[in-house]
């Protein structure tokens, strides 16, 4: 599973439209659709029901998006924690001339 594809799926779920999500993400709609299809194929589930009204979450999709949001929050927290540690080490480093 590709982390970027997971982020894309969360964004499509948030917006409810693949076209609008593609605009928000600054990628082509066709590329975003392909990424979502690849994610669904990798997981063996259908995340979205596609309709003229937009992208609606399936029951599997609802469970996946909940888990994906949690995972992405954890990844953000890990990144913040270790970037803060690295910044602190740089600030604590003795000056050398």
Confidence of residue 96 (pLDDT cuts 50, 70, 90): low
What does pTM read for this prediction?
0.84
pLDDT, mean of residues 5-34: 96
Spatial separation of the C-alpha atoms in residues 4 and 46, rounded to whole Å? 18
At 97 the pLDDT is 56
> Which parts of 1-97 fold into alpha helices (H)?
3-15, 18-25, 29-43, 59-92
Which domains are delineated in the chain?
3-91 (1.10.10.10)
In this predicted model, what pLDDT tens digit does every residue of 28-76 receive, in sequence order?
999 999 999 999 999 999 999 998 888 999 999 999 999 999 999 999 9
- For residues 11 and 25, the answer to whether their CB atoms sit within 8 Å is yes
């Amino acid at each position: 599973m590709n982390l970027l594809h997971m982020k894309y799926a969360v964004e499509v779920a948030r917006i409810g439209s693949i076209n609008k999500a593609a605009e928000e993400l600054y990628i082509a709609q066709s590329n975003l659709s392909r990424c979502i299809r690849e994610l669904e194929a990798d997981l063996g589930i259908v995340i979205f029901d596609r309709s003229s009204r937009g992208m609606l979450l399936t029951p599997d999709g609802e469970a996946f998006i909940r888990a994906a949001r949690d995972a992405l929050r954890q990844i953000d927290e890990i990144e913040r924690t270790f970037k803060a540690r690295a910044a602190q080490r740089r600030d604590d480093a003795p000056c050398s001339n």
